[in-house]
Amino acid sequence: MPNNTYIGAIDQGTTTTRFHVFNDKGKLITSHQLDYEQIYPKSGWVEHDPYELLDTAIRCADEVFRTMGMMGRTLSHIKAFGITNQRETTIVWDRNTGEPLYNAIVWCDSRTTRLVEKLKRKQEKVGLDIQGICGLPLHNYFSAVKLKWLMKNVDKVKEAVKNKRAMFGTVDSWLIWNLTGGIQGGIHVTDVTNASRTMFMNLETCEWDERLLEFFGVPDHVLPKIVSSSEVYGEARWGPLEGIPIAGCLGDQQAAFVGQQCFEKGEAKNTYGTGAFMVLNVGKSPVKSNNGLLSTVGYRFGKGETVYALEGSIAV
């Protein structure tokens, strides 16, 4: 990138949203951060307002562009922006109205504990090796059981799924769909790292797995398209980011993994935040753990090969 060319990034975390701008050397030029409400309807339940996630991203970008204006820079200097997001957090919305059908159920929410026990009994009965397919154990951490809970317990979701109006996504999907137009042609995608945390994706093929969808009772028409972590998904069509291409997306721990340049097999990073997360590069084939680690996707850039990782995660 030539001088005066910048890249933006939405960093949508568990407790805050940030917008950053970097120069062509990777140096942080400016950023802005906003907190948002943590919603605790019951003990062990954690939710976010999907509209607030979107609103704080827009407001952070707006504030950053104001700052850039004072530095003599304009919107035209930002050539693209990417998104990194809290993973597993589950949102369902109406494709016709754009309305969220329930609050986002956050990754650390534990309301599905009983449902998971029931699903484990079903798994044993049918003999499906869920972890062997997707790399993840049957656990309330992941999106599949959150979506299953919504489909069982929220009438709006149940009805929208039945009528093929429901759209499911992790936070990246929600942001990209809204920024690229929402009900006016928004793009419904998720990157391969976020998809690998849903418990719906086949880790070998990096596609949605019909056996897993059947097990959880989830129709494929609610799911986003799986795309790479680095390509142009579309342009923002409104707000301060209007006209800027969205050109990258990674789950937050994979973004840290890439940011720390863990590009060689055996390289690892550790992050301490709302949880503690160690991610190890295991190369271009998934590796199964016998010691409680998660097999996951590290990244896939464009048409390049998928790079896999082992992850150890602890919620605080």
Helix, strand or coil, per DSSP, at residue 235: strand
| Domain 6-262 homologous superfamily, CATH | ATPase, nucleotide binding domain (3.30.420.40)
- pTM, two decimal places: 0.92
| Other Cβ atoms closer than 10 A to 15 | 12
Other C-beta atoms closer than 10 Å to the C-beta of 96 total: 11
Amino acid type, 193: T
Cα distance between residue 254 and residue 296, in whole Å = 10
> Cα separation of 176 and 264, whole Å?
30
The pair of structure tokens assigned to 266 is: 């055996």
Structure token pair of residue 262: 């863990």
Distances (CA, A) of 211 to 71, 117, 133, 137, 140: 54, 19, 9, 15, 19
Full pLDDT tens readout for the chain, 316 residues: 446 789 999 999 999 999 999 988 889 999 999 999 999 999 999 999 999 999 999 999 999 988 888 777 766 788 999 999 999 999 999 999 999 999 999 999 999 999 999 999 999 999 999 999 999 999 999 999 999 999 999 999 999 999 999 999 999 999 999 999 999 999 999 999 999 999 999 999 999 999 999 999 999 999 999 999 999 999 999 888 999 999 999 999 999 999 999 999 999 999 887 778 899 999 999 999 888 899 999 999 999 999 999 999 887 6
φ, ψ (nearest 5 deg) of residue 168: -105, 145
The ranges assigned to domains in the chain are 6-262
